[in-house]
Copies of this chain bind each other. A is one copy, B any other.
Amino acid sequence: MVTTQSEPVYRGNPYEASCPTRRILDRVGDRWTVLVVGILGHGDARFSELRRSIEGISQKMLTQTLRGLERDGLVRRTVYPEVPVRVEYALTAAGRTLLEPLRALQEWSIEHLGVVSASQEAYDRAH
């Protein structure tokens, strides 16, 4: 937050359709993406490890999520041509920088779970 002059940041209205925040959030906000990045933050993992770690994810969605993250340059996929084949997934340097803001959001969730749940119950009783 020091940028005095000429910040190379996006200058448009942050709420218009083409806004980068929105494009990124479309990926980052994805429920599976957040979980995959979170797990890889604890260390590299194989495909099947990820699948076991994330309750309820289908093979299709895990593949799709990993491909998207790889395409964004946030995850690196390494194939070891053994028999049977072994594939390792790891966060790239850029991917690791995403951990902090994601962690902030997770902490917010945990801290506010109580009030949010209470509010929901109150709302549902009144409506």
Contact = CB atoms under 8 A, between A and B. Distances in A.
Q: Give the bracket for the number of chain A residues in contact with chain B.
A: 35 or more
B55 A15 contact: yes
Chain A's interface: helix, strand, loop or mixed, by majority? helix
A60 interface: no
Interface in A70-91: 70-74
A10 B106 CA distance: 11
Number of copies: 2
A21 B116 contact: no
Interface of A: 1, 8-10, 14-17, 20-26, 28-31, 34-35, 38-39, 53-56, 70-74, 94, 97-98, 100-102, 104-116, 118-120, 122-124
